[in-house]
Amino acid sequence: MYLFETIKLSLKNLLLKKSRSFLTMLGIIIGVAAVISIMSVGASAQDLLLAQVRAMGSNLIGVLPGASDEAGPPAAMFGIEITTLKHEDALALEKLPHIVAVCSYLNGRGSISYLNKSKDYNYMGVSEGYIIVEETTVDSGRFFRQDEIDSLARVVVLGSEVKKELFGDDNPIDKRVKINQVSFKVIGVMEERGVVAFQNQDEQVFVPIKTSQKLLLGVNHLAFIRAKIDKEENIESAISRVKSTIRFRHNIKDPIKDDFSIRSTDQALDMLGTITQALKMFLAAVAAISLIVGGIGIMNIMFVSVNERTREIGLRKAIGAKRKNILFQFLIESATMTLMGGLIGIITGILIAWAITIGVNYFGYDWKFIVTPVSVLISTMMAIIIGLIFGLWPASRASKLNAIKALRYE
């Protein structure tokens, strides 16, 4: 009964000065909303990242230029251009056991035009193994052959969205488009795939790997290589053989001096999971700092409240209230204020996370709305703890007031 009456009195005191109470709670509201929304966005982003990697297939391995340790990301992941990986390396991998298909990749961006229509698109230089490695098909026409790759043929396969943008309902096969003013013959249109590995595959343009190297970009290296393995249980064996083959081709005798990195899909998932989890916790910790700021605001207001109610405290002590009763009353008021702010913050944070979900899905990503009970519980407990911690000093000061002096306070 005493606890109930104390909470009731605390709510009454808060409602007497609604504006001041709300402004006091605002720091807690913002802090809790920030923690909830950031943890939600982090969980959703982590789910999207892992789903995008899984979408590439569980029996793929990737070869990237640049060395790294087994747990860290390759240098190429940081946007550093490394020229050690060649198309000939990919051709050598095709002959290894357990490897079904290999594809070389090189990315670029340029203006794609047809008649009076022109737009900037990403183009991708790939080898003929692309269809098998990516498990996709050509919707109309065909994909380019090995002889067209070797002869630097000026042929192109369009993504479905590129075809719609440039040709509408017309058949683009055997018509010519220009990529950075270089003329190409359209030989195929890919099926619709949507967003895979954070790229809209329907807005891609595909050209033979050597054509992209020599005619469009003027380079002799690759961005990366992907190889499809026949069975998941053969991935480790295939990785070992790939390492040996590339080391032989690059004349590397000491594995410490490797100029390439190899990752399987499972390794990529583990690495991404670790990185995104750490980033999510870091961002949540940064957001939680605003809770401390809110706690300082509550402490200041509680000091003001103690001064305003000095005579009330003196009267309560004069009729028998003990020090612990006064301490408990002001702690309950502080905790009630932070709890109310925390509840409003939770609702606000959920609404912000929901709005972000709608916005990201609008741009074509499969962004899931994720608000975990753990994040709600953590935010609520943090709000209450901060209320108790920052309310302790004012409450202690109130409990130590002398009854006679308090009654004489003006």
Per residue in 220-269, pLDDT tens? 999 999 999 888 788 888 889 999 999 999 998 888 888 888 887 776 66
Lowest mean pLDDT among 119-128, 181-190, 198-207, 237-246: 198-207
Give me 166's structure tokens.
Answer: 């440039």
Residue in this structure with the two tokens 């944070």, named with its chain if needed: 349
Q: Looking at this protein, which amino acid is placed at residue 382?
A: M
Cα angle for residues 203, 215, 107 (degrees, 5° grid): 35
pLDDT at 400 over 80: no
| Mean pLDDT for the stretch of residues 322-334 | 72
User: pLDDT tier at 308 (50, 70, 90 boundaries)?
Assistant: low
| Mean pLDDT for the stretch of residues 198-214 | 88
> What is the per-residue pLDDT for 216?
92
> What is the per-residue pLDDT for 78?
58
pLDDT (tens digit per residue) in 58-99: 688 889 888 776 655 566 665 667 888 999 999 999 989 989
Q: Identify the residue with better confidence: 65 or 57.
A: 65
Rg (CA), the chain: 32
d(CA 214, CA 207): 12
Nearest to 208 by CA among 88, 126, 111: 126
| Mean pLDDT for the stretch of residues 340-361 | 89
Give me 303's structure tokens.
Answer: 């000091």
> What is the per-residue pLDDT for 54?
66
d(CA 311, CA 321): 13
> What is the signed CA dihedral for 211, 149, 129, 162, rounded to 10 degrees?
50
The SS3 call for residue 371 is coil
User: pLDDT tier at 158 (50, 70, 90 boundaries)?
Assistant: very high
Lowest mean pLDDT among 171-185, 247-261, 285-299, 396-410: 396-410
pLDDT (tens digit per residue) in 25-49: 787 888 888 888 888 888 888 787 7
Q: For helices 18-55 and 323-362, give the axis angle rounded to 10 degrees.
A: 40
The SS3 call for residue 60 is strand
Beta strands in 165-211 (DSSP E): 176-179, 182-190, 195-196, 199-200, 204-208
Upper half-sphere CA count for residue 2 (Cβ side, 13 Å): 6
351 within 8 A of 311, measured Cβ to Cβ = no
Give me 357's structure tokens.
Answer: 């979900």
What is the chain's percent helix, strand, coil content, to nearest 5?
A: 60, 20, 25
CA distances 333 to 25, 36, 165, 311, 359, Å, are 12, 24, 63, 18, 39
Q: Categorise residue 349: left if φ over 0, alpha if ψ from -120 to 50, beta otherwise.
A: alpha
d(CA 110, CA 129): 24
Q: What's the chain's average pLDDT?
A: 81
pLDDT at 297 over 80: no
d(CA 23, CA 276): 35
d(CA 387, CA 299): 8
Every domain of the chain and the residues it spans: 2-52+271-408, 83-258
Q: Within a 10 A sphere around the Cβ of 192, how many other Cβ atoms?
A: 12
**Sign of the torsion formed by the C-alpha atoms of 375, 380, 384 and 390:** positive
CA 68 to the chain's CA centroid:
22
48 within 8 A of 365, measured Cβ to Cβ = yes
> What is the per-residue pLDDT for 126?
94
According to DSSP, the residues that pair with 151 across neighbouring strands are none
pLDDT at 321 over 80: no
pLDDT at 131 over 70: yes
What pTM was computed for the model? 0.64
d(CA 48, CA 94): 31
Beta strands in 236-351 (DSSP E): 260-264
Nearest to 209 by CA among 260, 261, 159, 146: 146
